[in-house]
């Protein structure tokens, strides 16, 4: 089970695309899961005002009280959640919240272990975001992948959860809206999954960072809206997507106070906390959350439509319109591509056509698919899909 930690494929591809761009190469970056737009002015101004005061000390590790309060208040307003400020920790992005949770609950000194070198099972519905199994492995966990199919609507079902469960499983990841499939779950579906998860005594890590990027009238259902399951659920949130703040690295984990307190202790031993400059930016974002979220959401919806139109035009195919997130999840078969695997296809598209995309196999646990992000600007979306179609012709 001992293996070298794996670099995140999404981050690596995005970094390659960025360094090509820095060399003056015209790159179409459809890899990055980020809304490519300036962080709203009101947020930037709040950060600059704080910088101008000039006194930038270490942060309080748990996060500024007003930011923790703003985050839990927002969860209450939007999702009916019931968290107190001290049930929320400000983290260096949502990813570090997951890292901390698994470090404590799945790592060497996990209180859930009977003996130190036991491997706890971490249940992960696939297709999954690249970092779930990777972080689970880094922490000494054993990823237990629960596959889904296009026919299941790429959704985890309570039956599949039960079937995949093994005695050492202690955690379940839920990702609603899902990166990369863009799936969102109904209230009945979430409730049914939570019921089984609690019955199996699983701790649910509910990654809800795309909750603000939903483009249908369908209700977005947070796991935090079921008070009866509060003890079993940790919600991961972030300012990255909804407020266009990816680079500021401000995320949150919300859940039981006794566990949050340990995560705070771990933060004192690692990052010390999130930069106050970024925290003040995030405080401003929450003050204007309704306007900013509406603006970012409308823009991303428009970009989604631009990408869908470009796919129709250049690949001549109709694929389902994503209801949420920033991603079109499409099979190579639907793009008319044959005789090459998705990993090779994405590597060569980046090398030969300067189009950055993320392969399903090494990114998301699903062969034959690729992920296209529509967070980029219109000209990159259109130019990128055109260049990808030209490149793909050789595999028709
Ligand atoms: N979550 C985004 C993505 O999937 C950002 C990159 C990352 O942290 O993986 O592209």
Per-residue pLDDT tens digits for 235-262:
999 999 999 999 999 999 999 999 999 9
| 167 part of a folded domain | yes
**pLDDT value for 144:** 98
| 366 part of a folded domain | yes
Per-residue pLDDT tens digits for 56-111:
999 999 999 999 999 999 999 999 999 999 999 999 999 999 999 999 999 999 99
Ligand 1 centroid to 34 CA: how many Å? 8
Do 200 and 88 belong together in one domain?
Answer: yes
Determine the Cα–Cα distance for residues 173 and 261; give it in Å rounded to an integer.
21
* Percentage of the chain lying above the pLDDT 90 cut: 97
Nearest CA to ligand 1 atom 2: 33
**Atom of ligand 1 at shortest range from CA of 209:** 1
Do 362 and 241 belong together in one domain?
Answer: no
32 Cβ below 6 A of ligand 1: yes
| 3 part of a folded domain | no
Do 59 and 194 belong together in one domain?
Answer: yes
Here the CATH number for the domain that contains residue 177 is 3.40.640.10
| 4 part of a folded domain | no
Q: Please return the burial class of 167, using the count of CB atoms within 10 Å of its CB with bins 0-12, 13-18 and 19+.
A: exposed
Neighbours of 390 (CB within 10 A): 12
Do 261 and 115 belong together in one domain?
Answer: yes
Nearest CA to ligand 1 atom 9: 10
| 340 part of a folded domain | yes
- Torsion, Cα 129 135 136 138, to 10 degrees, reads 150
| Total of domains in the chain | 2
| 2: pLDDT strictly greater than 80 | no
Band the pLDDT of 1: cuts 50, 70, 90. low
**pLDDT value for 187:** 97
Residue ending a domain, choose from 227, 254, 287 = 287
Here the CATH number for the domain that contains residue 340 is 3.90.1150.10
210-221: average pLDDT: 97
Q: What is the pTM of this model?
A: 0.96
**Atom of ligand 1 at shortest range from CA of 180:** 4
Residue 370 contacts residue 360 (beta carbons within 8 Å): yes
Per-residue pLDDT tens digits for 110-131:
999 998 889 999 999 999 999 9
| 163 part of a folded domain | yes
Per-residue pLDDT tens digits for 15-63:
999 999 999 999 999 998 999 999 999 999 999 999 999 999 999 999 9
| 364: pLDDT strictly greater than 60 | yes
| 322 part of a folded domain | yes
Do 163 and 54 belong together in one domain?
Answer: yes
Do 228 and 299 belong together in one domain?
Answer: no
Domain residues for 84? Answer: 41-287
**Atom of ligand 1 at shortest range from CA of 179:** 4
> Which of 8, 11, 94 to mutate for ligand 1's pocket (most ligand atoms within 8 Å of CB)?
11
Nearest CA to ligand 1 atom 8: 11
Residue ending a domain, choose from 237, 265, 287 = 287
| 1 part of a folded domain | no
Q: Which of 217, 194, 196, 216 is nearest to 206 (CA)?
A: 194
Residue ending a domain, choose from 287, 311, 342 = 287
238 Cβ below 6 A of ligand 1: no
Determine the Cα–Cα distance for residues 326 and 304; give it in Å rounded to an integer.
7
Do 283 and 265 belong together in one domain?
Answer: yes
Q: Which of 228, 216, 262 is nearest to 106 (CA)?
A: 262
Per-residue pLDDT tens digits for 279-289:
999 999 999 99
273-294: average pLDDT: 98
């Amino acid at each position: 089970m001992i293996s070298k930690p794996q670099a995140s494929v999404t981050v690596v591809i995005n970094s390659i695309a960025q360094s090509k761009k820095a060399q003056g190469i015209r790159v179409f970056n459809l890899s990055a899961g980020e809304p490519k737009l300036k962080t709203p002015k009101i947020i930037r101004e709040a950060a600059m005002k704080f910088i101008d005061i000039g006194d930038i000390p270490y942060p309080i590790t748990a996060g500024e009280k007003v930011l923790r309060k703003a985050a839990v208040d927002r969860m209450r307003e939007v999702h009916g959640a019931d968290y107190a400020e001290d049930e929320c920790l400000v983290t260096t992005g949502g990813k570090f919240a997951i890292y901390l949770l698994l470090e404590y609950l799945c790592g060497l000194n996990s209180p859930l272990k009977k003996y130190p070198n036991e491997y706890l099972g971490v249940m992960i519905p696939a297709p999954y975001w690249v970092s779930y199994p990777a972080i689970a492995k880094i922490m000494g966990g054993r990823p237990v992948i629960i596959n889904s199919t296009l026919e299941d609507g790429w959704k985890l079902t309570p039956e599949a959860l039960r079937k995949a469960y093994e005695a050492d499983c202690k955690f379940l990841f839920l990702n609603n809206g899902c990166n990369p499939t863009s799936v969102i779950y109904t209230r009945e579906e979430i409730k049914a999954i939570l019921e089984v998860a609690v019955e199996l005594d699983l701790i649910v890590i509910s990654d809800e960072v795309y909750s603000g990027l939903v483009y249908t009238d369908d209700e977005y259902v947070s796991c935090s809206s079921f008070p009866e399951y509060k003890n079993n659920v940790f919600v991961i949130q972030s300012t990255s997507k909804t407020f266009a703040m990816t680079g500021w690295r401000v995320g949150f984990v919300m859940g039981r106070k006794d566990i949050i307190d340990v995560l705070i202790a771990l933060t004192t031993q690692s990052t010390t906390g999130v930069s106050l400059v970024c925290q003040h930016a995030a405080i401003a974002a929450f003050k204007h959350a309704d306007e900013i979220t509406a603006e970012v959401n409308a823009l991303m919806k428009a970009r989604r439509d631009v990408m869908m139109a470009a796919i129709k035009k250049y690949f001549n195919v109709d694929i389902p319109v994503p209801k949420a997130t920033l991603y079109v999840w499409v099979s190579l078969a639907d793009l008319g591509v044959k005789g090459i695997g998705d990993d090779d296809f994405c590597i060569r598209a980046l090398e030969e056509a300067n189009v950055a995309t993320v392969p399903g196999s090494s990114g998301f646990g699903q062969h034959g698919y690729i992920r296209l992000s529509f967070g980029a600007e219109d000209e990159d979306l259109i130019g990128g899909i055109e260049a990808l179609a030209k490149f793909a012709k050789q595999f028709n």
